[in-house]
Amino acid sequence: MLQIPTLDSDDLTAFKRDGYLVKRGAFSPEDMQTITTWTEELVAMPEVSGRHWVYHEKSQKDGADLISRIEKIAPFHAGFAELTEALKAPMAQLLGEPAVLFKEKVNFKMPGGDGFKPHQDSQAGWYNYADMFISALVSIDRSTLENGCLQMAGGHHKQGLKMAWEPLSESEMEGMEFVPVPTEPGDVIFFDSYAPHSSEPNLSDDIRRIYYATYNGASKGDHMIQYYADKYANYPPDIDRQKDKEYVFRV
């Protein structure tokens, strides 16, 4: 079984202050070998309608087809289901109540994979389900400046939601400093759904796989089924897309 990360009072204080928390070595090297194997199993699973969701992108280097991310994993992979359970304990500490899984994914960011413009996660319509979410970023590979590590703007989560369905504008980012947060395998970054963050493209030769699991407090309800149904209607996995329809990723 995976070890369960635990947080202390200093961790809780830092998270409240900054809107994010970096927990180094939250998972052991042995656990990360297991999670890496699960990730490889995930990639090897065939893309089948009605199963996990696979999204592709074009390489920023040579235009090659790349896997960009895989979502809706835990219902179809027992290992990742175990990982979502292991993360519930620290999530409950941060939320102040039992945690309920909202969504999860692996962002692959292969060599040539694109980055993400500065944004708040709640901008992507999450406010329709609950007013507060916390995500856990589990670093599967080493994440560096060169391969597009996460960049966080600490303390600005307290300002609440900016413009919905749009990346942050220049005026909204006034006074924000996006600080790179490199990680090693086993590190976990917890961050508030209002915490501004971004990442650059991966123009290195190293893959940068990261698992994200997002939770809300149990008192706010269980919204995962509805969230995936709503997302499917607007931005389905590649295998289920209509050839004559254009799909645009906004946030």
144 in a domain, yes or no?
Answer: yes
Query: By residue range, what is the domain housing residue 230?
Result: 9-236
CATH number of 144's domain? 2.60.120.620
**Residue 89 is assigned to a structural domain of this protein:** yes
pLDDT of residue 250: 83
- Whether 114 is covered by a domain: the verdict is yes
- Number of domains the chain contains: 1
- In angstroms, the first-to-last Cα distance of the chain is 35
Of 90, 125, 112, 134, which Cα lies nearest the Cα of 200? 112
Residue 3: inside a domain: no
Model confidence pLDDT, tens digit, residues 55-75:
999 999 999 999 999 999 999
Distances (CA, A) of 155 to 20, 152, 161, 175, 221: 8, 9, 13, 11, 27
How many CA atoms does the CB half-sphere of 53 hold within 13 Å? 19
Alpha-carbon distance values, 249 to 95, 124, 164, 245 (Å)? 29, 10, 13, 13
189-247 confidence digits (pLDDT tens): 999 999 999 999 999 999 999 999 999 999 999 999 999 999 999 999 999 999 999 99
Quick one: which of 106, 120, 132, 127 has its CA closest to 212? 106
Confidence of residue 105 (pLDDT cuts 50, 70, 90): very high
Instruction: Note whether residue 44 is domain-resident.
Output: yes
CA distance 83 to 138: 10
The pLDDT of residue 199 is 98
Residue 225 lies in a domain: yes
Residue 251 lies in a domain: no
Residue 29's contacts (CB-CB under 8 Å, 6 or more residues apart) are 185, 186
- 88 within domain boundaries: yes
